[in-house]
Structure 1
Amino acid sequence: MTGSPLFCGTDLAGRIEAAEAALIVAATEAALTRGAWGTALPIAGGFACAAEAGSPMNKVVGLGFGGDIDPAVLDTVERTLAELGVPVQVELSNLADPAVAELLTRRGYRLVGFENVLGQALPSAAASATGPGVEIRRAGPADIDTWIDAVVEGFTHPDEVGVVSHEEFPREVIAKAERDFEKAGAVAYLAYCDGAVAGGAGMRITDGVAQLTGAATVPKARRRGVQSALLATRLGDAVSAGCDLAVVTTAPGSTSQKNVQRRGFQLLYTRAVLVKEPV
Protein backbone atom coordinates (compact mmCIF):
# COMPACT_ATOMS: atom_id res chain seq x y z
CA MET A 1 0.00 0.00 0.00
CA THR A 2 1.38 3.42 -0.92
CA GLY A 3 0.65 6.96 0.16
CA SER A 4 -1.20 9.70 -1.70
CA PRO A 5 0.00 10.69 -5.19
CA LEU A 6 3.09 12.90 -5.27
CA PHE A 7 2.63 15.95 -7.48
CA CYS A 8 5.78 17.32 -9.07
CA GLY A 9 5.73 20.97 -10.04
CA THR A 10 8.65 23.18 -10.99
CA ASP A 11 9.66 23.79 -7.35
CA LEU A 12 10.00 20.09 -6.55
CA ALA A 13 11.72 19.41 -9.86
CA GLY A 14 14.17 22.22 -9.13
CA ARG A 15 14.94 20.69 -5.73
CA ILE A 16 15.59 17.27 -7.27
CA GLU A 17 17.73 18.73 -10.04
CA ALA A 18 19.78 20.66 -7.46
CA ALA A 19 20.41 17.40 -5.59
CA GLU A 20 21.43 15.72 -8.84
CA ALA A 21 23.83 18.55 -9.61
CA ALA A 22 25.34 18.29 -6.12
CA LEU A 23 25.91 14.55 -6.61
CA ILE A 24 27.56 14.87 -10.02
CA VAL A 25 29.76 17.79 -8.90
CA ALA A 26 30.87 15.88 -5.78
CA ALA A 27 31.66 12.77 -7.82
CA THR A 28 33.57 14.86 -10.37
CA GLU A 29 35.61 16.42 -7.56
CA ALA A 30 36.27 12.92 -6.20
CA ALA A 31 37.64 11.96 -9.62
CA LEU A 32 39.98 14.95 -9.39
CA THR A 33 41.51 13.58 -6.18
CA ARG A 34 42.63 10.43 -8.02
CA GLY A 35 44.22 12.37 -10.87
CA ALA A 36 41.35 12.74 -13.35
CA TRP A 37 40.32 16.10 -14.86
CA GLY A 38 37.62 16.86 -12.30
CA THR A 39 36.20 19.94 -14.04
CA ALA A 40 32.90 21.48 -12.86
CA LEU A 41 31.80 24.77 -14.41
CA PRO A 42 28.78 26.65 -13.00
CA ILE A 43 26.15 27.62 -15.54
CA ALA A 44 22.71 29.13 -14.88
CA GLY A 45 22.15 27.37 -11.56
CA GLY A 46 23.54 24.08 -12.83
CA PHE A 47 26.97 22.68 -13.62
CA ALA A 48 28.86 21.40 -16.63
CA CYS A 49 31.00 18.52 -15.40
CA ALA A 50 33.77 16.46 -16.95
CA ALA A 51 35.61 13.82 -14.92
CA GLU A 52 37.67 11.99 -17.54
CA ALA A 53 37.34 10.44 -21.00
CA GLY A 54 34.15 8.39 -21.31
CA SER A 55 32.94 9.06 -17.75
CA PRO A 56 29.20 9.03 -16.90
CA MET A 57 29.88 12.27 -15.00
CA ASN A 58 30.54 14.10 -18.27
CA LYS A 59 27.27 15.98 -18.41
CA VAL A 60 25.50 19.28 -17.79
CA VAL A 61 23.00 19.03 -14.94
CA GLY A 62 20.51 21.32 -13.21
CA LEU A 63 19.77 23.70 -16.06
CA GLY A 64 16.47 25.50 -16.41
CA PHE A 65 15.78 26.30 -12.75
CA GLY A 66 18.33 29.02 -11.98
CA GLY A 67 17.72 31.84 -14.42
CA ASP A 68 18.62 32.48 -18.04
CA ILE A 69 21.71 30.97 -19.64
CA ASP A 70 24.30 33.55 -20.60
CA PRO A 71 25.37 32.58 -24.15
CA ALA A 72 28.93 33.68 -23.30
CA VAL A 73 29.03 31.22 -20.39
CA LEU A 74 27.71 28.47 -22.66
CA ASP A 75 30.45 29.41 -25.15
CA THR A 76 33.02 28.86 -22.39
CA VAL A 77 31.50 25.49 -21.45
CA GLU A 78 31.47 24.29 -25.05
CA ARG A 79 35.03 25.46 -25.65
CA THR A 80 36.37 23.93 -22.43
CA LEU A 81 34.79 20.53 -23.02
CA ALA A 82 35.80 20.57 -26.70
CA GLU A 83 39.43 21.08 -25.61
CA LEU A 84 39.04 17.96 -23.46
CA GLY A 85 37.49 16.06 -26.37
CA VAL A 86 34.20 15.67 -24.48
CA PRO A 87 30.73 16.18 -26.02
CA VAL A 88 28.47 18.61 -24.20
CA GLN A 89 25.68 16.37 -22.92
CA VAL A 90 22.78 18.22 -21.32
CA GLU A 91 20.23 16.30 -19.25
CA LEU A 92 17.24 18.64 -19.29
CA SER A 93 14.04 18.19 -17.29
CA ASN A 94 10.78 18.67 -19.14
CA LEU A 95 9.79 20.94 -16.23
CA ALA A 96 12.75 23.26 -16.87
CA ASP A 97 12.41 26.67 -18.49
CA PRO A 98 11.44 25.92 -22.15
CA ALA A 99 13.81 28.68 -23.28
CA VAL A 100 16.74 26.40 -22.43
CA ALA A 101 15.71 23.74 -24.95
CA GLU A 102 15.08 26.42 -27.55
CA LEU A 103 18.56 27.88 -27.03
CA LEU A 104 20.27 24.49 -27.20
CA THR A 105 18.51 23.39 -30.39
CA ARG A 106 19.37 26.69 -32.05
CA ARG A 107 23.02 26.00 -31.21
CA GLY A 108 23.02 22.58 -32.85
CA TYR A 109 22.32 20.22 -29.95
CA ARG A 110 20.60 17.01 -30.99
CA LEU A 111 18.24 14.81 -29.01
CA VAL A 112 19.74 11.36 -28.33
CA GLY A 113 17.53 9.90 -25.61
CA PHE A 114 15.45 10.22 -22.47
CA GLU A 115 15.57 9.15 -18.83
CA ASN A 116 12.82 9.05 -16.24
CA VAL A 117 12.93 10.50 -12.73
CA LEU A 118 10.65 8.77 -10.25
CA GLY A 119 9.96 9.72 -6.66
CA GLN A 120 8.23 8.72 -3.47
CA ALA A 121 7.26 10.84 -0.49
CA LEU A 122 8.70 9.61 2.80
CA PRO A 123 7.87 8.03 5.12
CA SER A 124 6.17 5.50 2.86
CA ALA A 125 3.35 3.16 3.82
CA ALA A 126 4.90 0.39 1.72
CA ALA A 127 6.09 -2.67 3.60
CA SER A 128 9.84 -3.00 4.14
CA ALA A 129 10.40 -6.71 3.66
CA THR A 130 13.13 -8.76 2.03
CA GLY A 131 12.70 -12.02 0.18
CA PRO A 132 13.70 -15.37 1.65
CA GLY A 133 17.44 -15.91 1.53
CA VAL A 134 18.22 -12.24 0.74
CA GLU A 135 20.29 -10.17 3.16
CA ILE A 136 21.30 -6.51 2.79
CA ARG A 137 24.34 -5.03 4.54
CA ARG A 138 26.00 -1.64 4.46
CA ALA A 139 29.40 -1.96 2.86
CA GLY A 140 32.30 -0.89 5.06
CA PRO A 141 35.70 0.31 3.81
CA ALA A 142 36.93 -3.27 3.46
CA ASP A 143 33.89 -4.16 1.31
CA ILE A 144 34.11 -1.41 -1.31
CA ASP A 145 35.98 -3.48 -3.89
CA THR A 146 33.44 -6.28 -3.50
CA TRP A 147 30.60 -3.77 -3.85
CA ILE A 148 32.10 -2.28 -7.01
CA ASP A 149 32.62 -5.72 -8.54
CA ALA A 150 28.98 -6.62 -7.90
CA VAL A 151 27.60 -3.38 -9.34
CA VAL A 152 29.86 -3.55 -12.40
CA GLU A 153 28.88 -7.18 -13.02
CA GLY A 154 25.21 -6.24 -12.91
CA PHE A 155 25.54 -3.16 -15.10
CA THR A 156 27.56 -4.92 -17.79
CA HIS A 157 24.85 -7.60 -18.15
CA PRO A 158 21.66 -5.51 -18.42
CA ASP A 159 18.18 -6.95 -18.83
CA GLU A 160 17.06 -6.39 -22.41
CA VAL A 161 13.89 -4.58 -21.36
CA GLY A 162 12.66 -1.10 -22.29
CA VAL A 163 14.25 1.58 -24.44
CA VAL A 164 17.86 0.93 -25.42
CA SER A 165 20.18 3.36 -23.60
CA HIS A 166 21.85 6.12 -25.60
CA GLU A 167 25.16 5.34 -23.90
CA GLU A 168 27.22 2.34 -22.82
CA PHE A 169 30.25 2.23 -20.55
CA PRO A 170 33.09 -0.33 -20.27
CA ARG A 171 33.71 -2.13 -16.98
CA GLU A 172 36.72 -0.03 -15.95
CA VAL A 173 34.83 3.24 -16.45
CA ILE A 174 31.87 2.04 -14.38
CA ALA A 175 34.22 0.85 -11.63
CA LYS A 176 35.95 4.23 -11.42
CA ALA A 177 32.62 6.09 -11.43
CA GLU A 178 31.16 3.94 -8.64
CA ARG A 179 34.27 4.53 -6.54
CA ASP A 180 33.89 8.28 -7.17
CA PHE A 181 30.23 8.18 -6.11
CA GLU A 182 31.17 6.44 -2.86
CA LYS A 183 33.90 9.03 -2.21
CA ALA A 184 31.28 11.71 -2.92
CA GLY A 185 29.19 10.53 0.03
CA ALA A 186 27.04 7.75 -1.37
CA VAL A 187 26.46 4.95 1.14
CA ALA A 188 27.20 1.55 -0.41
CA TYR A 189 24.92 -1.46 0.13
CA LEU A 190 25.68 -5.10 -0.63
CA ALA A 191 23.06 -7.78 -1.23
CA TYR A 192 23.65 -11.45 -0.44
CA CYS A 193 21.66 -14.50 -1.50
CA ASP A 194 22.31 -17.54 0.65
CA GLY A 195 25.62 -16.01 1.71
CA ALA A 196 26.88 -15.17 -1.81
CA VAL A 197 27.21 -11.62 -3.14
CA ALA A 198 24.14 -10.94 -5.29
CA GLY A 199 24.23 -7.22 -6.06
CA GLY A 200 24.80 -3.72 -4.80
CA ALA A 201 23.37 -0.23 -4.69
CA GLY A 202 24.04 3.24 -3.31
CA MET A 203 22.25 6.15 -1.66
CA ARG A 204 23.28 9.77 -1.19
CA ILE A 205 21.30 12.31 0.84
CA THR A 206 21.13 15.99 -0.13
CA ASP A 207 18.86 18.40 1.77
CA GLY A 208 16.32 15.74 2.65
CA VAL A 209 16.37 14.11 -0.79
CA ALA A 210 17.53 10.48 -0.81
CA GLN A 211 19.06 9.73 -4.19
CA LEU A 212 18.99 6.00 -4.88
CA THR A 213 21.91 5.23 -7.17
CA GLY A 214 23.73 2.39 -8.87
CA ALA A 215 21.42 -0.55 -8.14
CA ALA A 216 22.44 -3.73 -9.95
CA THR A 217 22.00 -7.48 -9.51
CA VAL A 218 24.53 -10.04 -10.71
CA PRO A 219 22.95 -12.22 -13.43
CA LYS A 220 22.89 -15.49 -11.46
CA ALA A 221 20.92 -13.90 -8.60
CA ARG A 222 18.17 -12.26 -10.63
CA ARG A 223 14.46 -12.89 -10.05
CA ARG A 224 15.06 -13.51 -6.34
CA GLY A 225 13.95 -10.15 -4.93
CA VAL A 226 17.40 -8.57 -4.64
CA GLN A 227 16.33 -5.21 -6.05
CA SER A 228 13.24 -5.07 -3.84
CA ALA A 229 15.38 -5.79 -0.79
CA LEU A 230 17.97 -3.15 -1.69
CA LEU A 231 15.17 -0.65 -2.25
CA ALA A 232 13.39 -1.43 1.01
CA THR A 233 16.58 -1.16 3.06
CA ARG A 234 17.59 2.17 1.53
CA LEU A 235 14.11 3.63 1.98
CA GLY A 236 14.13 2.60 5.63
CA ASP A 237 17.52 4.24 6.14
CA ALA A 238 16.35 7.38 4.32
CA VAL A 239 13.38 7.69 6.68
CA SER A 240 15.66 7.18 9.69
CA ALA A 241 17.90 9.98 8.35
CA GLY A 242 14.93 12.38 8.21
CA CYS A 243 14.46 12.46 4.43
CA ASP A 244 11.06 13.46 3.10
CA LEU A 245 11.67 12.37 -0.50
CA ALA A 246 13.36 9.48 -2.32
CA VAL A 247 14.20 9.68 -6.02
CA VAL A 248 15.60 7.32 -8.62
CA THR A 249 16.52 7.70 -12.28
CA THR A 250 15.78 4.88 -14.73
CA ALA A 251 15.75 4.15 -18.43
CA PRO A 252 12.20 4.46 -19.84
CA GLY A 253 10.25 1.21 -19.71
CA SER A 254 13.08 -0.67 -18.00
CA THR A 255 12.97 -3.42 -15.40
CA SER A 256 14.35 -0.89 -12.92
CA GLN A 257 11.40 1.40 -13.54
CA LYS A 258 8.97 -1.49 -13.11
CA ASN A 259 10.63 -2.52 -9.84
CA VAL A 260 10.49 0.93 -8.24
CA GLN A 261 6.91 1.56 -9.40
CA ARG A 262 5.90 -1.67 -7.69
CA ARG A 263 7.36 -0.16 -4.52
CA GLY A 264 5.20 2.95 -4.82
CA PHE A 265 7.43 5.28 -6.80
CA GLN A 266 5.70 7.57 -9.28
CA LEU A 267 6.95 9.05 -12.52
CA LEU A 268 7.67 12.72 -11.73
CA TYR A 269 9.25 13.96 -14.94
CA THR A 270 11.44 13.02 -17.87
CA ARG A 271 14.85 14.36 -18.81
CA ALA A 272 15.71 14.87 -22.46
CA VAL A 273 19.36 14.14 -23.28
CA LEU A 274 20.75 16.68 -25.76
CA VAL A 275 24.28 16.44 -27.13
CA LYS A 276 26.66 18.68 -29.05
CA GLU A 277 29.81 17.02 -30.30
CA PRO A 278 33.16 18.84 -29.96
CA VAL A 279 34.24 20.68 -33.10
Structure 2
Amino acid sequence: MGGERLFCDVALAARIERAEARLTAESSDAARARRGDTIGFARPFSGGVASFAEDDSPFNKVIGLGFGGLPSTAELDEIEHAFAELGSPVQVELCQLADAGTGGFFTERGYRLESFENVLGRRLGDTDVPDGVRLSRDDELETWLSEVADAVAVADTEGLPSHEDFPRETVVNAMRDMAGVRRYLAERNGEFAGGASFRVTEGIAQFTGAATVPAHRRRGVQTALLRARLAAATEAECDVAVVTTQPGSKSHQNVQRQGFDLLYTRAILVKGTSATSSSGADSRQAS
Protein backbone atom coordinates (compact mmCIF):
# COMPACT_ATOMS: atom_id res chain seq x y z
CA MET A 1 0.00 0.00 0.00
CA GLY A 2 2.86 2.35 -0.73
CA GLY A 3 1.16 4.40 -3.43
CA GLU A 4 0.38 8.09 -3.39
CA ARG A 5 -1.69 9.12 -0.41
CA LEU A 6 -5.11 10.60 -1.08
CA PHE A 7 -5.47 14.25 -0.06
CA CYS A 8 -9.00 15.56 0.37
CA ASP A 9 -9.60 19.16 -0.62
CA VAL A 10 -12.95 20.93 -0.47
CA ALA A 11 -13.81 19.93 -4.03
CA LEU A 12 -13.36 16.22 -3.31
CA ALA A 13 -15.28 16.48 -0.04
CA ALA A 14 -18.16 18.21 -1.83
CA ARG A 15 -18.17 15.48 -4.48
CA ILE A 16 -18.31 12.70 -1.87
CA GLU A 17 -21.03 14.48 0.08
CA ARG A 18 -23.11 14.87 -3.09
CA ALA A 19 -22.81 11.14 -3.66
CA GLU A 20 -23.91 10.45 -0.08
CA ALA A 21 -26.87 12.78 -0.48
CA ARG A 22 -27.88 10.99 -3.66
CA LEU A 23 -27.64 7.59 -1.97
CA THR A 24 -29.79 8.85 0.90
CA ALA A 25 -32.45 10.34 -1.37
CA GLU A 26 -32.69 7.29 -3.65
CA SER A 27 -32.85 4.88 -0.71
CA SER A 28 -35.50 7.00 1.01
CA ASP A 29 -37.58 6.92 -2.18
CA ALA A 30 -37.09 3.13 -2.35
CA ALA A 31 -38.50 2.76 1.16
CA ARG A 32 -41.72 4.47 0.09
CA ALA A 33 -41.89 2.36 -3.05
CA ARG A 34 -41.49 -0.81 -0.97
CA ARG A 35 -44.33 0.20 1.33
CA GLY A 36 -46.51 1.57 -1.44
CA ASP A 37 -47.25 4.86 0.33
CA THR A 38 -46.09 8.47 0.33
CA ILE A 39 -45.14 8.82 4.02
CA GLY A 40 -41.84 10.65 4.41
CA PHE A 41 -39.77 12.75 2.04
CA ALA A 42 -36.42 13.28 0.35
CA ARG A 43 -36.14 16.92 -0.56
CA PRO A 44 -33.23 19.19 -1.58
CA PHE A 45 -31.89 21.31 1.25
CA SER A 46 -29.05 23.81 0.97
CA GLY A 47 -27.13 21.79 -1.61
CA GLY A 48 -27.73 18.50 0.20
CA VAL A 49 -30.81 16.50 1.04
CA ALA A 50 -33.22 16.20 3.97
CA SER A 51 -34.73 12.73 4.19
CA PHE A 52 -37.21 10.75 6.26
CA ALA A 53 -37.57 7.16 5.02
CA GLU A 54 -39.42 5.47 7.91
CA ASP A 55 -39.27 5.21 11.70
CA ASP A 56 -35.73 4.61 13.03
CA SER A 57 -34.23 4.45 9.53
CA PRO A 58 -30.55 5.32 8.97
CA PHE A 59 -31.82 7.39 6.05
CA ASN A 60 -33.57 9.86 8.37
CA LYS A 61 -31.11 12.72 8.22
CA VAL A 62 -29.79 15.86 6.58
CA ILE A 63 -26.58 15.30 4.63
CA GLY A 64 -24.50 16.87 1.88
CA LEU A 65 -25.05 20.50 2.80
CA GLY A 66 -22.49 23.19 3.56
CA PHE A 67 -20.77 23.72 0.21
CA GLY A 68 -22.86 26.51 -1.25
CA GLY A 69 -23.54 28.95 1.57
CA LEU A 70 -25.70 28.72 4.67
CA PRO A 71 -29.34 27.69 4.52
CA SER A 72 -31.90 30.33 5.35
CA THR A 73 -33.77 30.32 8.63
CA ALA A 74 -37.01 29.85 6.71
CA GLU A 75 -35.61 26.79 4.92
CA LEU A 76 -34.54 25.22 8.20
CA ASP A 77 -37.91 26.02 9.78
CA GLU A 78 -39.60 24.10 6.98
CA ILE A 79 -37.31 21.07 7.37
CA GLU A 80 -37.70 21.00 11.15
CA HIS A 81 -41.47 21.15 10.78
CA ALA A 82 -41.43 18.26 8.29
CA PHE A 83 -39.48 16.03 10.69
CA ALA A 84 -41.59 17.11 13.68
CA GLU A 85 -44.79 16.13 11.87
CA LEU A 86 -43.42 12.59 11.66
CA GLY A 87 -42.28 12.56 15.29
CA SER A 88 -38.60 12.46 14.35
CA PRO A 89 -35.57 14.42 15.57
CA VAL A 90 -33.52 16.28 12.99
CA GLN A 91 -30.09 14.76 12.52
CA VAL A 92 -27.52 16.75 10.55
CA GLU A 93 -24.38 14.98 9.34
CA LEU A 94 -21.97 17.84 8.74
CA CYS A 95 -18.65 17.51 6.92
CA GLN A 96 -15.80 19.32 8.65
CA LEU A 97 -14.81 20.88 5.28
CA ALA A 98 -18.18 22.55 4.88
CA ASP A 99 -18.48 26.32 4.64
CA ALA A 100 -17.30 28.20 7.72
CA GLY A 101 -20.20 29.10 9.96
CA THR A 102 -22.37 26.10 9.04
CA GLY A 103 -21.82 24.39 12.39
CA GLY A 104 -22.51 27.58 14.28
CA PHE A 105 -25.70 28.11 12.31
CA PHE A 106 -27.07 24.85 13.67
CA THR A 107 -25.77 25.08 17.24
CA GLU A 108 -27.32 28.54 17.54
CA ARG A 109 -30.62 26.85 16.67
CA GLY A 110 -30.26 24.41 19.56
CA TYR A 111 -28.57 21.49 17.81
CA ARG A 112 -26.21 19.51 20.00
CA LEU A 113 -23.13 17.53 19.06
CA GLU A 114 -23.92 13.84 19.56
CA SER A 115 -21.02 12.01 17.92
CA PHE A 116 -18.59 11.85 15.02
CA GLU A 117 -17.98 9.52 12.09
CA ASN A 118 -14.94 9.26 9.84
CA VAL A 119 -14.91 9.23 6.05
CA LEU A 120 -11.90 7.44 4.60
CA GLY A 121 -10.88 7.02 0.97
CA ARG A 122 -8.21 5.64 -1.30
CA ARG A 123 -7.17 5.79 -4.91
CA LEU A 124 -7.93 2.74 -7.01
CA GLY A 125 -5.55 0.54 -8.92
CA ASP A 126 -4.77 -3.12 -9.44
CA THR A 127 -6.24 -5.27 -6.66
CA ASP A 128 -6.44 -9.04 -6.62
CA VAL A 129 -9.81 -10.74 -6.16
CA PRO A 130 -9.55 -12.97 -3.08
CA ASP A 131 -10.76 -16.55 -3.05
CA GLY A 132 -14.06 -17.24 -1.33
CA VAL A 133 -15.75 -13.93 -2.21
CA ARG A 134 -18.29 -13.54 -5.00
CA LEU A 135 -21.29 -11.51 -6.07
CA SER A 136 -24.48 -12.55 -4.33
CA ARG A 137 -27.14 -13.81 -6.75
CA ASP A 138 -30.63 -12.32 -6.90
CA ASP A 139 -32.12 -15.57 -5.59
CA GLU A 140 -29.87 -15.28 -2.51
CA LEU A 141 -31.14 -11.85 -1.48
CA GLU A 142 -33.25 -12.95 1.49
CA THR A 143 -30.47 -15.17 2.84
CA TRP A 144 -27.93 -12.36 2.38
CA LEU A 145 -30.15 -9.83 4.17
CA SER A 146 -30.86 -12.22 7.06
CA GLU A 147 -27.25 -13.30 7.58
CA VAL A 148 -25.85 -9.77 7.41
CA ALA A 149 -28.55 -8.40 9.74
CA ASP A 150 -27.79 -11.13 12.28
CA ALA A 151 -24.07 -10.35 12.05
CA VAL A 152 -24.66 -6.63 12.48
CA ALA A 153 -26.70 -7.33 15.62
CA VAL A 154 -23.61 -8.80 17.33
CA ALA A 155 -21.41 -5.75 17.66
CA ASP A 156 -17.64 -6.08 17.67
CA THR A 157 -16.19 -5.19 21.05
CA GLU A 158 -12.88 -3.77 19.80
CA GLY A 159 -12.54 0.00 19.65
CA LEU A 160 -15.10 2.63 20.57
CA PRO A 161 -18.71 1.42 20.70
CA SER A 162 -21.02 2.64 17.96
CA HIS A 163 -23.62 5.28 18.83
CA GLU A 164 -26.05 3.42 16.54
CA ASP A 165 -28.62 0.90 17.71
CA PHE A 166 -31.12 -0.28 15.10
CA PRO A 167 -33.86 -2.92 15.42
CA ARG A 168 -33.16 -5.95 13.21
CA GLU A 169 -36.16 -5.24 10.95
CA THR A 170 -34.89 -1.71 10.38
CA VAL A 171 -31.46 -3.03 9.37
CA VAL A 172 -33.05 -5.46 6.89
CA ASN A 173 -35.28 -2.76 5.41
CA ALA A 174 -32.42 -0.28 5.07
CA MET A 175 -30.21 -2.81 3.29
CA ARG A 176 -33.07 -3.85 1.03
CA ASP A 177 -33.82 -0.21 0.14
CA MET A 178 -30.22 0.80 -0.50
CA ALA A 179 -30.41 1.85 -4.11
CA GLY A 180 -28.12 0.58 -6.83
CA VAL A 181 -25.80 -1.56 -4.70
CA ARG A 182 -23.83 -4.65 -5.63
CA ARG A 183 -23.89 -7.29 -2.90
CA TYR A 184 -21.01 -9.64 -2.14
CA LEU A 185 -20.76 -12.65 0.11
CA ALA A 186 -17.77 -14.43 1.60
CA GLU A 187 -17.74 -18.14 2.36
CA ARG A 188 -15.52 -20.21 4.67
CA ASN A 189 -15.71 -23.97 4.88
CA GLY A 190 -18.90 -23.89 2.82
CA GLU A 191 -20.63 -21.48 5.22
CA PHE A 192 -21.83 -17.88 4.84
CA ALA A 193 -19.05 -15.94 6.59
CA GLY A 194 -19.86 -12.33 5.74
CA GLY A 195 -21.54 -9.92 3.38
CA ALA A 196 -20.78 -6.48 2.00
CA SER A 197 -22.05 -4.03 -0.60
CA PHE A 198 -21.01 -1.03 -2.64
CA ARG A 199 -22.37 1.25 -5.32
CA VAL A 200 -20.95 3.57 -7.94
CA THR A 201 -21.93 7.24 -8.08
CA GLU A 202 -20.21 9.46 -10.64
CA GLY A 203 -16.87 7.68 -10.36
CA ILE A 204 -17.01 7.24 -6.59
CA ALA A 205 -17.20 3.71 -5.19
CA GLN A 206 -19.30 4.02 -2.04
CA PHE A 207 -18.72 1.08 0.31
CA THR A 208 -22.17 0.87 1.83
CA GLY A 209 -21.80 -1.69 4.60
CA ALA A 210 -20.19 -4.96 5.64
CA ALA A 211 -20.58 -7.49 8.41
CA THR A 212 -18.87 -10.74 9.39
CA VAL A 213 -20.66 -13.64 11.06
CA PRO A 214 -19.29 -13.84 14.64
CA ALA A 215 -18.01 -17.42 14.24
CA HIS A 216 -15.83 -16.30 11.31
CA ARG A 217 -14.35 -13.13 12.77
CA ARG A 218 -10.57 -12.64 12.96
CA ARG A 219 -10.19 -14.83 9.89
CA GLY A 220 -9.63 -12.14 7.28
CA VAL A 221 -13.23 -12.08 6.04
CA GLN A 222 -13.67 -8.32 6.20
CA THR A 223 -10.35 -7.77 4.45
CA ALA A 224 -11.37 -10.17 1.69
CA LEU A 225 -14.68 -8.33 1.24
CA LEU A 226 -12.82 -5.02 1.08
CA ARG A 227 -10.39 -6.27 -1.55
CA ALA A 228 -13.15 -7.77 -3.68
CA ARG A 229 -14.98 -4.45 -3.73
CA LEU A 230 -11.78 -2.54 -4.50
CA ALA A 231 -11.19 -4.81 -7.50
CA ALA A 232 -14.77 -4.32 -8.68
CA ALA A 233 -14.53 -0.55 -8.24
CA THR A 234 -11.37 -0.47 -10.34
CA GLU A 235 -13.10 -2.51 -13.04
CA ALA A 236 -16.00 -0.02 -12.93
CA GLU A 237 -13.45 2.76 -13.66
CA CYS A 238 -13.99 4.58 -10.38
CA ASP A 239 -11.16 6.88 -9.34
CA VAL A 240 -11.76 6.80 -5.58
CA ALA A 241 -13.34 4.45 -3.04
CA VAL A 242 -14.86 5.82 0.17
CA VAL A 243 -16.06 4.23 3.39
CA THR A 244 -17.57 5.60 6.59
CA THR A 245 -16.52 4.15 9.94
CA GLN A 246 -16.90 4.70 13.65
CA PRO A 247 -13.71 6.45 14.87
CA GLY A 248 -11.32 4.07 16.59
CA SER A 249 -13.28 0.99 15.54
CA LYS A 250 -11.96 -2.31 14.21
CA SER A 251 -13.46 -1.37 10.85
CA HIS A 252 -11.50 1.89 10.89
CA GLN A 253 -8.32 -0.08 11.53
CA ASN A 254 -9.08 -2.63 8.82
CA VAL A 255 -9.68 -0.09 6.06
CA GLN A 256 -6.54 1.84 6.97
CA ARG A 257 -4.58 -1.38 6.60
CA GLN A 258 -5.98 -1.58 3.06
CA GLY A 259 -4.58 1.82 2.15
CA PHE A 260 -7.51 4.09 3.01
CA ASP A 261 -6.64 7.56 4.27
CA LEU A 262 -8.73 9.61 6.67
CA LEU A 263 -10.31 12.29 4.47
CA TYR A 264 -12.55 14.13 6.91
CA THR A 265 -14.87 13.74 9.85
CA ARG A 266 -18.61 14.35 10.01
CA ALA A 267 -20.11 15.89 13.12
CA ILE A 268 -23.50 14.41 14.03
CA LEU A 269 -25.71 17.30 15.20
CA VAL A 270 -29.14 16.49 16.60
CA LYS A 271 -32.16 18.51 17.62
CA GLY A 272 -35.01 16.69 19.31
CA THR A 273 -35.13 13.17 20.76
CA SER A 274 -31.77 11.39 20.76
CA ALA A 275 -31.12 9.88 17.35
CA THR A 276 -30.00 6.32 16.69
CA SER A 277 -28.97 6.58 13.08
CA SER A 278 -25.93 7.47 11.05
CA SER A 279 -24.78 7.09 7.45
CA GLY A 280 -25.82 3.48 7.01
CA ALA A 281 -22.42 2.87 5.58
CA ASP A 282 -19.61 0.69 6.89
CA SER A 283 -19.92 2.39 10.30
CA ARG A 284 -22.11 -0.59 11.18
CA GLN A 285 -19.51 -3.12 10.12
CA ALA A 286 -18.91 -6.04 12.43
CA SER A 287 -15.45 -7.49 11.95
TM-score range, shorter chain: over 0.9
Cα-to-partner distance string for 1:82-114 (whole Å, 9 max, x where unaligned):
000111000001111121101100000000000
Identity rate, percent: 53
Residues 136 and 190, structure 1, Cα contact 8 Å, conserved in 2: yes
1:234-245 equivalent positions in 2, closer than 5 A: 234-245=229-240
Paired AA for residue 32 in structure 1: R
CA distance in 2, matches of 1:72, 1:28: 24
Correspondence for 1:270: 265
Correspondence for 1:218: 213
Correspondence for 1:22: 22
Correspondence for 1:171: 168
Residues 129 and 231, structure 2, Cα contact 8 Å, conserved in 1: no
| 1:153 Cα deviation from its structure 2 partner | 1.5
CA distance in 2, matches of 1:80, 1:55: 16
SS in 1 for 2:12: helix
Correspondence for 1:151: 148
Correspondence for 1:99: 101
Aligned residue-pair number = 271
Residues 61 and 90, structure 1, Cα contact 8 Å, conserved in 2: yes
1:253 to 231, 248, 253: 248
| 1:162 Cα deviation from its structure 2 partner | 2.2
Cα-to-partner distance string for 1:213-256 (whole Å, 9 max, x where unaligned):
11000101111111111111111010001100000000000000
SS in 2 for 1:27: helix
CA distance in 2, matches of 1:28, 1:2: 39
TM-score of the two chains, using structure 1 as the length reference: 0.94
| 1:129 Cα deviation from its structure 2 partner | 5.4
TM-score of the two chains, using structure 2 as the length reference: 0.92
CA distance in 2, matches of 1:139, 1:175: 16
2:114 to 78, 88, 112: 112
Paired AA for residue 269 in structure 2: L
Correspondence for 1:39: 41
Task: Give the RMSD, CA atoms, in angstroms.
Answer: 1.3
Moved more, 32-41 or 70-79: 32-41
SS in 1 for 2:2: coil
CA distance in 2, matches of 1:148, 1:39: 25
Correspondence for 1:187: 182
Paired AA for residue 128 in structure 1: D
1:111-130 equivalent positions in 2, closer than 5 A: 111-123=113-125, 127-128=127-128, 130=130
Paired AA for residue 50 in structure 1: F
